[in-house]
Amino acid sequence: MIIVKPTDDPLSIDYQAGAMIMIDKPIGWTSFDVVNKIRYRLKNHLQVKKIKVGHAGTLDPLATGLLILCTGKATKQIETFQNQVKKYSGCIKLGATTPSYDAEFEEENIKDTAHLSQSQVLDACYSFKGEIDQLPPNFSALKINGKASYKWARKGIVKELKSRKITFYDIQIPKIELPYAYFCVECSKGTYIRSFAHDVGQKLDVGAYLTELRRLSIGEYTIENAWNLDKWVDVFESKQE
């Protein structure tokens, strides 16, 4: 498998034989949007009707950061990347909730946070370190009766989700400026950072939701070595001109 680095010429890669592309996903894009964009360019470049392209771990539309894509025969290795430790940075807003646990919807259940001390916020965040049972958000891609949970939720139908064991290997809170708490975490496959934000708010009895999220690394692969999506696309478009 070839790793396509930003210093490489992406036009010279054998994508059918198998390649891994690290993309810095922009805000507002779904992970599937990025896959479609890459696949479309590769099909035109290679003059083929089909090419396998998949991603190794979904990022929500409002999140940014490292998205690993595999092409051709390398798609068989997607699960290997999915199982690796992920590192994220971001921000939690205390004192309100949203249905999606992030900034997609308007705030609800607004509460005062002035009574909270920094030590209370730190203790609440750190209490989730280690292996825990985490309940995924209703606005998630988990399938219920063959349909993604978020599709039910958007219709106002709340389906019961089961908690699952995940692990926070490290939790750091570098800055607290109430009502905001900034974090950096390392966690296992299947972890929902939106649920972490929500659970911190529940622990403090003021509610909370995720306002920012950026994936910094997947295993040994870091955002510093990722392609800007526009730059990657520009290389292929300039070749067609």
| 105 in the same domain as 15 | no
Q: The whole model's pTM is what?
A: 0.91
189 shares a domain with 94: yes
Hey, CA dihedral for 222, 176, 174, 184, is it positive or negative?
A: negative
96 and 197 together in one domain: yes
Helix intervals (H) in the chain: 31-46, 78-82, 118-126, 149-154, 193-204, 229-240
Task: Examine the pLDDT at 134 and tell me if it is beyond 60.
Answer: yes
pLDDT value of residue 138:
73
Q: Which among 9, 24, 60, 170 is annotated as catalytic? A: 60
Note whether 173 and 226 are same-domain residues: no
Residue ranges making up the domain that contains 33: 2-83+220-240
The residue that leads in pLDDT, 104 or 66, is 66
Number of domains in the chain: 2
Q: pLDDT tens across 1-44, in order?
A: 899 999 989 999 999 999 999 999 999 999 999 999 999 999 99
Q: 197, 209 in Cβ contact below 8 A? A: yes
Query: Is there a catalytic annotation at residue 60?
Result: yes
Classify residue 232 by its DSSP letter: H
Residues 175 and 202 placed together within one structural domain of the fold: yes
